[in-house]
């Protein structure tokens, strides 16, 4: 354990390994980003749910029905909500460019505020700021989980969206809105780490696990973002390597890796 001669302990007990892991994630991602800046390129494999989003935007343009985005019941501190919002940022801009309405509703008022900013930014970037009006595209039904579930189900019934994207943190609430989405014939695309089984039951296409986080990078095809995904893969490879090493060391009768992780 690292200690200082004057103040005693520096790192909180049991968190040294966590700190090293966090630093490793940061360093590996930054190295990949650095390579990306130097011109190295990576490709992301085709994501089924992402292809469905592309098709969905076209489908919405043909049918004249909106695209509905639901970022879930969590707040801005949840990375899943942030992933959903970044994905929504891309979708709303593409939709604004081709004249498709991208609407949303959320449970947290902080998420509502961020979503409004995203929609405003999307219409401005698409050169159509006059089409944006506060409260027109983003709705709030209350901070309660079931108020959100029932409110978004009602929004689905009244707007009859062509595509519904569930990207964020969901629990049982998704089953209410998901059922309504199926009834109005919407293509449903989902990604969460909250209630994956519910999303899998309701949606036609799903982002499996981390695909939710990679989707916003993949949709832009931005070289720098793709580079960070490569860094993410390096981190995963390191984690797998550590797991294999841990198994081998444990089989040899040593607790060295376990002790290292508990530092």
Find the binding residues for another protein in span 198-237 (CB under 8 A).
198, 200-202, 208-210, 212-214, 216-217, 220, 222, 224-225, 228-229, 231-232, 235-236
Does residue 256 belong to the site contacting another protein (CB under 8 A)? no
CB of residue 159 vs another protein: minimum separation in angstroms?
12
Terminal Cα distance for the chain, rounded: 7
Tokens of 172: 């049982």
Distance of CA 163 to the CA centre of its chain: 17
The Cα-based distances of 135 to 73, 104, 120, 154, 194 in angstroms read: 19, 10, 11, 16, 28
Does residue 63 belong to the site contacting another protein (CB under 8 A)? no
**Distance from C-alpha of 152 to C-alpha of 4, rounded to nearest angstrom:** 54
Does residue 64 belong to the site contacting another protein (CB under 8 A)? no
Does residue 146 belong to the site contacting another protein (CB under 8 A)? yes
SS3 label, residue 151: helix
Stretch that binds another protein, among 27-35, 50-58, 96-104, 248-256 (CB under 8 A): 27-35
Does residue 22 belong to the site contacting another protein (CB under 8 A)? yes
**Distance from C-alpha of 258 to C-alpha of 14, rounded to nearest angstrom:** 12
Residue whose CB is less far from another protein, 149 or 254 = 149
- Residue linked to tokens 């942030």: 82
CB of residue 170 vs another protein: minimum separation in angstroms?
13
Residue numbers 67-106 binding another protein by CB under 8 A: 75, 79-80, 82-83, 85-86, 88-90, 93
Residue numbers 104-123 binding another protein by CB under 8 A: 108-110, 112-114, 116-118, 121
CB of residue 76 vs another protein: minimum separation in angstroms?
8
Which of 31, 33, 160, 263 binds another protein (CB under 8 A)? It is 33
Q: What are phi and psi of 193, to 5 degrees?
A: -115, 5
Tokens of 99: 């004249």
Distance of CA 118 to the CA centre of its chain: 15
Does residue 143 belong to the site contacting another protein (CB under 8 A)? yes
């Amino acid at each position: 354990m690292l200690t200082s001669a004057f103040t005693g302990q520096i790192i909180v007990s049991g968190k040294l390994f966590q700190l090293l892991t966090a630093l490793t994630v940061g360093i590996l991602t930054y190295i990949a980003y650095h390579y990306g800046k130097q011109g190295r390129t990576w490709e992301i494999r085709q994501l089924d749910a992402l292809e469905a989003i592309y098709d969905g935007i076209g489908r919405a343009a043909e049918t004249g029905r909106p695209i509905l985005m639901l970022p879930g019941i969590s707040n801005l501190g949840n990375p899943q909500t942030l992933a959903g919002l970044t994905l929504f940022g891309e979708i709303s801009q593409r939709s604004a460019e081709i004249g498709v309405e991208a609407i949303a509703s959320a449970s947290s008022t902080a998420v509502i505020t961020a979503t409004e900013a995203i929609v405003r930014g999307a219409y401005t970037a698409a050169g159509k700021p006059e089409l944006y009006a506060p409260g027109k595209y983003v709705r709030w039904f209350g901070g309660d989980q079931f108020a959100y579930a029932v409110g978004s189900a009602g929004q689905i019934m009244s707007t009859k969206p062509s595509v519904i994207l569930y990207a964020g943190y969901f629990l049982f609430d998704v089953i209410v809105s998901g059922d309504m989405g199926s009834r109005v014939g919407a293509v449903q695309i989902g990604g969460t780490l909250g209630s994956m089984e519910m999303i899998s039951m309701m949606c036609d296409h799903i982002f499996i696990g981390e695909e939710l986080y990679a989707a916003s990078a993949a949709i832009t095809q931005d070289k720098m973002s793709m580079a960070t995904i490569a860094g993410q893969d390096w981190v995963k490879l390191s984690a797998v390597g550590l797991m294999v090493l841990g198994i081998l060391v444990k089989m040899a009768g040593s607790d060295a890796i376990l002790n290292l992780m508990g530092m």
